[in-house]
Structure 1
Amino acid sequence: MQPSRKGVTAMKRGMGATLLMGGVVLGALQMAAPWVQGAEPTQALKQIKNYTVSTAPVEQLHLDPPKLPDLSGYTAQAVEAKIDRSRKGRVVVRRMLQQDALKDFIGGNERLREWVKRQQGMPNAIFIEGGHVTPADIARALPDSQFSETEKGVYLARLPLVVAHDASLEIDKETRDFRLSQERGSFLVNDGKLFVTGSKLTAWREQDKSPAWFRKPEEFRPFLVSWGGSELYIVASTVTSLGYDNSKSYGVSITQYTPGQAARLKRAAPTGWLINSEFVDHWYGFYCFEAENVVIKGNTYRDNIVYGIDPHDRSRGLIIAENTVFGTKKKHGIIISREVDDSWIVNNKTFDNKLSGIVIDRNSVNNLVAWNEVYQNHADGITLYESSNNLLWGNKVLNNARHGIRVRNSVNIRLYENLSAANGLTGVLGHIKDLTNTDRDIELDPFDAKVSMILVGGKLAGNGSSPLSIDSPLSVELYRVELLAPSKSTGISFAGVLGEKQEEILDLMVRRKQAVLIDPVETQAELQD
């Protein structure tokens, strides 16, 4: 079951508690704590600066392991069943101007000039309409200057290609490679249904007779975009070298139309399945915008440029499962950003990415991040920025260059049964940051400089600077967390607010085996009223 959108904990203390209990602590605890001499605390509640330390019940912290969606139905056989071959489609060539599916790519003189230059005249596109079409059908219908079979089962498109709203294109195993010419400005637009099964889809540099490997961000490379109301299915295929730094031209994209067109066309949210495939050398390995129920399962994303997997604005109900994401050159392996809600990021491996392995960003809520292996990334393992009410369960976060799990300006973050070990800085970091004087659009991406989290179970082991650091929390609750093998010779030391109360915390946690509640003084006063 997904975590509750409201994210209300059973604790009726609201936002003002820090609870820590039950760890197994190894290493030298070298500190002058009163309990070392057998002294008992004289008060159940001690006031330290603006926080108090006490015990509290922990029954409310119980949470059953999350239930995952059934993934067994996302198969090649299920995709095959969706292909309707009963109506034969037609292939025509039309001017690109005044076509809804192409307006984003010909708007303004600069983008129109791109296609005029590459086609040496007013630009045309291939349209598939009225039913089912294969690459062989296109080759029979058009001259080689527009679309050709260059060798058996290898096709080259030298014009943009549009699958109309009432049509489908099937690129199946009979197609060894479906190539989009970089020199001629070819790209693929799906406004209906597109199937790539057991095949290859390649941005092709004719001059070099090779994929259009990335050279610079602004250089045009062919791309695939699947618009509002469309369905995209890529199964057991290899997709190579798509996308560049221009709107909706990022690589493989599933995206609703721009607001003006969406209001006029009234298309449903786009969707699709990308399963058991490989995505290599794209500007973005995957991007979506206002998409729903997209399944990204069992794929490999390697050596992509900016992101591996990047669901974006107001997408929901996504399943990102059992993927391997590595070698992203500029930013993160997997990131969901700006109100990407009600989704699952589960059982993925993400490693050796330039920044973080997994990022939850910009008010993306009610997501489950579970049982992922996140390791050897060049910044954090798992990062949450300004995204409240999310659940992290059973992740292994190992040997990342900076923090294992980092939580910024986010409340009700629940961390259950995670292992964060051998990371360069902190095992788990919670902090606040004022973003008002940055380049952030506060109206588009509002935030509160507040942090709260619950840690239950799991291990924090051998992290570089501290197992745990919390900066000015509204609520942090920890229970049954194991602190193992500190990397410092001085033994385990907390940072932030917990560091200020370390003696009292360890007294209750280690010697007395009780819960520890660290409460802001202001909240205690409110509770007494």
Structure 2
Amino acid sequence: MKARVYKWVLYMLITMLVVPVQGVAAGNSNANGMAKPPPAIAPLIDDYGIEIKSGEDLYLPEPELPDTSAYSRDAVEARLASRSDAPPDVSVERIGGISALGDFVDEGRAREWVVRQFSHPQAILVNSGKVTLEDVYRQVNDRRYMERNEDGSYIIRLPLTIRQDATLVMRDQTLRLSEERGAFIANDGWLFAIDSKIIGWREQANGPATFQKKENFRPFYVGWGGSENFILGTTMANLGYLQSKSYGFTVAQYSEYDNARLQRTAPHAWLVDSTFEDLYYGFYCYEAEDVAIVNNVYRDNIVYGIDPHDYSSGLIIAGNEVYGTREKHGIIISREVDNSWIVGNRSYKNGLSGIVLDRQSSNNVVANNVSYDNQGDGIGLYESPDNLLWGNRVMNNLRNGIRVRNSSNVDVYHNVAVLNGTWGIYGQLKDLSATDRNFKEDFYEYEVSLRVVGGELSSNASGPLSTDNPAYIALYDVGMRFPRSDVGIHFEGVLGKYQMQIFDALLNQKRAVRIEPSAVVSGQVSQAEN
């Protein structure tokens, strides 16, 4: 009988109307340069007060979301048409002194290519012009390095590098990258892959270079600082391993040392209507800007599906389907990835959480996503303050629907969290001082504060909502039906102390509640704030 009831509850809650969204709206060292210590862990507060107030004070307008129709086939074709039709120039040269290959010959990594090429490492260089794969094949003119197969596909057996002012165009073609010979693509200019396939290839097996071990070389793609990377209607598969900038599909700025000489702008990328499968990281970026990851499929990738990283900004991650990530999260932004949008994605059946904001990623909008059947949380915020979660649905995740850890000023508006393994929403304080965290690079404040408005927190195993000693929590118009506990809907800790007042204000008075330390409620300044 209970199973039938739960199925009915799940159906009702999944199909219930969620507030629609129509369109999308970051010095951490001491003066002497020493690493900043972990935050002081203040004593837990046991003296809270409650304020009953009008819900109007918690009103927020719908966030303005980016217009993803700007990232269309026509827009990509227009970018391609703007490139010069200069004649193609392709050569095979030694890889020393080529900026786009520097990371792969420094610090002993050159040995990888010496062993695989049986000689001093070489690369295919697209030097200038608007170049097709057929142009590359004809000008290389050596089957040891590049071959055209009977089915019209190509295989390359050297690294392929697009230099700064050159453009490589793939259209309706398949390019195989030889694992045995150490092939990969390094883009320092412009690349357009349209309706094509880029596949890591294991020649001995005459098949794709499927993942075996994280240390084992597999071909990969990297776009460097200043590069423009356009992937449209294309499949990229069987790429990447555990080495810097070799994760699968990467766009990354040059190192600070190299860029002092090269003076490159941030890399840009549009990934549209494409499929990324069996990549070590489905997507990784470093100091990238204005990246659009729109309407793609990320399936069965190894560590992460989509993983924008380190100081990137202005990203749009919208309309993607991300599932089957083996080890960790479907979508994660980490280490000061700011002013970005995660909108309208489906993230499910991933090894840990569906969507994560991590390590001081702030001023982001996470809206209208569906995250379910993940082995962690539906949505997790870790040490990432000042973010908005709007209109998301998180269902049947093994842990929490939404977890907010060591993150302040988080707005959770019009979200539905149902049938999750612990709490619908969990605000968590966690002391990270015993970890190996670098507190200069990954600083955080030991504080949780959030506003929860609208939506539904129903039939979660531990209850609708819990939070550890918040700096404040405000609640208004939150549905909390269908408890799974025999004791009914209940709170713990500071919320438990005011349970009856909370229910009366929300359900009977249709007003908001705000709970914070008593000294704040009474208008005084507590000693802890001085």
Note whether the superposition's TM-score is higher than 0.5: yes
Partner of 1:171: 170
Q: Deviations over 1:256-281 (max 9, x none)?
A: 01111112111000001000000000
Partner of 2:455: 458
Q: Deviations over 1:316-357 (max 9, x none)?
A: 000000000000001000000001001010000000000000
Report if aligned partners of 1:2, 1:367 keep a CA contact under 8 Å in 2: no
The 3-state SS of whatever aligns with 1:523 is helix
Within 2, Cα distance between the matches of 1:435 and 1:88? Answer: 57
Partner of 1:86: 85
Residue 528 of structure 1, CA deviation = 7.9
Confirm whether residue 121 of structure 1 aligns to residue 119 of structure 2: yes
1:434 to 428, 431, 436: 431
Within 2, Cα distance between the matches of 1:153 and 1:81? Answer: 27
Confirm whether residue 203 of structure 1 aligns to residue 204 of structure 2: no
Q: Deviations over 1:191-221 (max 9, x none)?
A: 0001100110000000111110000000000
Report if aligned partners of 2:297, 2:320 keep a CA contact under 8 Å in 1: yes
2:319 to 317, 322, 342: 322
Partner of 1:26: none
- Number of aligned residues: 483
Partner of 2:145: 146
Q: Deviations over 1:211-256 (max 9, x none)?
A: 1000000000000000000000000011101100000000000110
Alignment of 1:235-384 (within 5 A): 235-384=232-381
The 3-state SS of whatever aligns with 1:55 is strand
Residue 2 of structure 1, CA deviation = 6.3
Partner of 1:224: 221
Within 2, Cα distance between the matches of 1:271 and 1:527? Answer: 49
Partner of 1:408: 405
Report if aligned partners of 1:466, 1:495 keep a CA contact under 8 Å in 2: no
Within 1, Cα distance between the matches of 2:507 and 2:291? Answer: 46
Classify 1:131/1:496 alpha carbon distance in 2 versus 1 (closer, same or farther; 3 Å). farther
Within 2, Cα distance between the matches of 1:287 and 1:117? Answer: 27
Instruction: State the one-letter code of the partner of 2:383.
Output: E
Confirm whether residue 385 of structure 1 aligns to residue 375 of structure 2: no
Within 1, Cα distance between the matches of 2:215 and 2:251? Answer: 21
Confirm whether residue 517 of structure 1 aligns to residue 521 of structure 2: no
Within 2, Cα distance between the matches of 1:252 and 1:233? Answer: 12
Report if aligned partners of 2:472, 2:514 keep a CA contact under 8 Å in 1: no
Classify 1:2/1:238 alpha carbon distance in 2 versus 1 (closer, same or farther; 3 Å). closer
The 3-state SS of whatever aligns with 1:439 is coil
Within 2, Cα distance between the matches of 1:277 and 1:203? Answer: 16
Classify 1:507/1:73 alpha carbon distance in 2 versus 1 (closer, same or farther; 3 Å). closer
Confirm whether residue 131 of structure 1 aligns to residue 142 of structure 2: no
The 3-state SS of whatever aligns with 1:82 is helix
Report if aligned partners of 2:372, 2:395 keep a CA contact under 8 Å in 1: yes
Q: Deviations over 1:95-132 (max 9, x none)?
A: 111221111011122x1111000000110001001211
Within 1, Cα distance between the matches of 2:504 and 2:311? Answer: 46
Q: Deviations over 1:363-389 (max 9, x none)?
A: 000100000000000011000000011
Residue 527 of structure 1, CA deviation = 4.0
* TM-score, length-scaled by structure 1: 0.89
Alignment of 1:74-113 (within 5 A): 74-83=71-80, 84=83, 86-109=85-108, 111-113=109-111
Within 1, Cα distance between the matches of 2:413 and 2:137? Answer: 55
Report if aligned partners of 1:195, 1:233 keep a CA contact under 8 Å in 2: yes
Within 2, Cα distance between the matches of 1:496 and 1:513? Answer: 23
Within 2, Cα distance between the matches of 1:502 and 1:263? Answer: 58
Partner of 1:471: 468
Classify 1:185/1:499 alpha carbon distance in 2 versus 1 (closer, same or farther; 3 Å). same
Residue 85 of structure 1, CA deviation = 5.1
Residue 391 of structure 1, CA deviation = 0.4
- The unaligned stretches of length 5 or more in structure 2 are 1-22, 27-44
Within 1, Cα distance between the matches of 2:88 and 2:243? Answer: 31
Q: Deviations over 1:24-63 (max 9, x none)?
A: xxxxxxxxxxxxxxxxxxxxxxxx9501123123222111
The 3-state SS of whatever aligns with 1:207 is helix
The 3-state SS of whatever aligns with 2:505 is helix
Within 2, Cα distance between the matches of 1:200 and 1:514? Answer: 56
Partner of 1:180: 177
Within 1, Cα distance between the matches of 2:494 and 2:167? Answer: 59
Within 2, Cα distance between the matches of 1:273 and 1:509? Answer: 45
Within 2, Cα distance between the matches of 1:317 and 1:153? Answer: 39
- The unaligned stretches of length 5 or more in structure 1 are 6-47
Classify 1:272/1:528 alpha carbon distance in 2 versus 1 (closer, same or farther; 3 Å). closer
Within 2, Cα distance between the matches of 1:49 and 1:209? Answer: 66
The 3-state SS of whatever aligns with 1:248 is coil
Instruction: State the one-letter code of the partner of 2:198.
Output: L
Report if aligned partners of 2:519, 2:525 keep a CA contact under 8 Å in 1: no
Within 2, Cα distance between the matches of 1:476 and 1:328? Answer: 33
Residue 64 of structure 1, CA deviation = 1.3
Q: Deviations over 1:47-93 (max 9, x none)?
A: x9501123123222111111211111211121111122511121111
Root-mean-square deviation over aligned CA pairs: 1.5
Q: Which moved more, 1:213-222 or 1:508-517?
A: 508-517
Within 1, Cα distance between the matches of 2:46 and 2:323? Answer: 45
The 3-state SS of whatever aligns with 2:68 is coil
The 3-state SS of whatever aligns with 1:450 is coil
Larger RCO (CA within 8 A; separation ≥ 6): 1
Partner of 1:192: 189
Report if aligned partners of 2:24, 2:67 keep a CA contact under 8 Å in 1: no
Within 1, Cα distance between the matches of 2:175 and 2:468? Answer: 53
Report if aligned partners of 1:2, 1:342 keep a CA contact under 8 Å in 2: no
The 3-state SS of whatever aligns with 1:201 is strand
Within 2, Cα distance between the matches of 1:334 and 1:452? Answer: 24
Residue 512 of structure 1, CA deviation = 3.7
Report if aligned partners of 1:431, 1:470 keep a CA contact under 8 Å in 2: yes
Instruction: State the one-letter code of the partner of 1:95.
Output: R
* TM-score, length-scaled by structure 2: 0.89
The 3-state SS of whatever aligns with 1:281 is strand
Alignment of 1:44-83 (within 5 A): 49-83=46-80
Q: Which moved more, 1:487-496 or 1:48-57?
A: 48-57
